[in-house]
A = this chain, B = another copy of it.
């Protein structure tokens, strides 16, 4: 079961940090541009310098797909150098009718062998089921996203409950099948995270929106983790990857990730059942 395995990883590595590899040729340090494959060199350096402190790498598929064939090669090569004690998440936000979702599931779970994927809930259960059937893989369903557009539909009230809670409720049901569902919950909505955590006390949350998008870390960690300070991955991307545009970018990223890991663990030690995640 993915969800148990996720918590094992978090416990073993003592970190909730997820690092988003939103690798962008326009943002990587200029010093890399003379390399034969600057994007790969960037990912390689970032992974080498940060893997000790991260529970998972989230690869934003758009950034690879937009490069065409070299992008898929980059994806493959990047996955091959991520250490096996660190999870890999395809941030793909896919989902379609059943026969089509089956193809997407094949792509990410078989061809690329990701540990988890993000999917969109709009088309409902049968569009997500082909992903769930890979029992040892995780499926993070969009619940409440970190962007402004979340207001358009996710907050619509249905019998005095917002749509995002209806989604959380359904996903809770889907999780009974194989114990491999999670929720994407944006770090910019701290009160709502608490509400969603109450509804789904044990589902893993993937929380973007810290860092460049400005979410409040203390509240996010407090509300997004379960009662043991587990079941959450706190994602950062741009604010770590592009913290330095100089040759020392990988060291700066390492410092940022380490600090974030330590901050998160401190918050957990104060707020939650201490000892399960020790502060290093």
Please, which residues of chain B bring their CB within 8 A of the CB of A154? 122, 124
Interface string of A60-104 (1 = CB under 8 A from B): 101101101100110000000000000000010111111111011
CB pair B147–A167 under 8 Å, yes or no, is no
Please, which residues of chain B bring their CB within 8 A of the CB of A149? 123-128
- CB of A68, distance to nearest CB on chain B (Å): 6
CB pair A96–B96 under 8 Å, yes or no, is no
Please, which residues of chain B bring their CB within 8 A of the CB of A96? 60, 62, 91, 93
Please, which residues of chain B bring their CB within 8 A of the CB of A145? 97, 122-124, 127
Q: Which residue of B lies closest to A142 (CB)?
A: B122
CB pair A122–B124 under 8 Å, yes or no, is no
Please, which residues of chain B bring their CB within 8 A of the CB of A156? 158, 163, 166
- CB of A196, distance to nearest CB on chain B (Å): 15
Q: Which residue of B lies closest to A96 (CB)?
A: B93
Question: Which residues A221-245 have CB closer than 8 A to chain B?
Answer: none
* A12 proximal to B (CB < 8 A): no
CB pair A104–B69 under 8 Å, yes or no, is no
* A120 proximal to B (CB < 8 A): yes
Interface string of A100-129 (1 = CB under 8 A from B): 110110110001000000001111111110
Q: Pick the contact of A69 from B69, B124, B158, B213 — CB < 8 Å?
A: B69
CB pair A124–B151 under 8 Å, yes or no, is yes
Number of interface residues of A (CB under 8 A): 55
- CB of A279, distance to nearest CB on chain B (Å): 31
- CB of A210, distance to nearest CB on chain B (Å): 13
Q: Among A100, A122, A124, A208, which residue has the most Cβ atoms of chain B within 10 A?
A: A122
- CB of A66, distance to nearest CB on chain B (Å): 4
Interface string of A196-228 (1 = CB under 8 A from B): 000000000000100001000000000000000
CB pair B98–A147 under 8 Å, yes or no, is yes
A170 to B153, CA, bound (A): 9
A121 to B120, CA, bound (A): 9
- CB of A221, distance to nearest CB on chain B (Å): 21
A-side residues, CB < 8 A to B, are 22, 60, 62-63, 65-66, 68-69, 72-73, 91, 93-101, 103-104, 106-107, 111, 120-128, 142, 145-154, 156-159, 163, 166-167, 170, 208, 213
